Amino acid sequence: MFGDINRATLMGNVTRDPELRYTTSGSAVLSFSIATNRRYKSGDDWKDEVAYHNIVVWRSAENLAKRLKKGTRIYVEGRMQTRSWDGDDGKKNYKTEVVADSVILIDRFEGKGESMSNSDTASGTGNTSSANDDDTLIEPDDLPF
């Protein structure tokens, strides 16, 4: 039998400046959104469709927060996660987001990118992260797309 797969791979532009927060235990967490574009043909016309994705980064959150801003083009790999909570109005709220394992900042003008990685592990108190401290520069020509 085969196991399940929960993997997300995205490349797009950051839609808002990231929000750096800290958990009650002091762990840094970075939240932001990216937009991906899909172009398709409908009859004789070309149409553009934009999708927005919520991203969460743990261990490298502080380092990435210094480098990431609205408009930055990035490549993200991670897993999908849906959280739920009860709102002030008593309604159940849901949010689906990508918990990033790897983030690559793509600089189209200088031809350089920066890589930051997270690997998530579970503990008795919830999700925590440990990072691969490899800040290796990755050239866009090395990317598989």
Q: Using one digit for the tens of pLDDT, what is the confidence trace for 61-73?
A: 999 999 999 999 9
Structural domains in the chain, sorted by start:
8-40+47-142 (2.40.50.140)
Read off the DSSP letter of residue 19.
E
Tens of pLDDT along 110-131? 455 555 555 432 222 233 333 3
What value does the CA radius of gyration of the chain take, rounded to a whole number of Å? Answer: 17
Q: Coil, helix or strand for 140? A: helix
Tens of pLDDT along 7-38? 999 999 999 999 999 999 999 999 999 999 99
pTM: 0.71
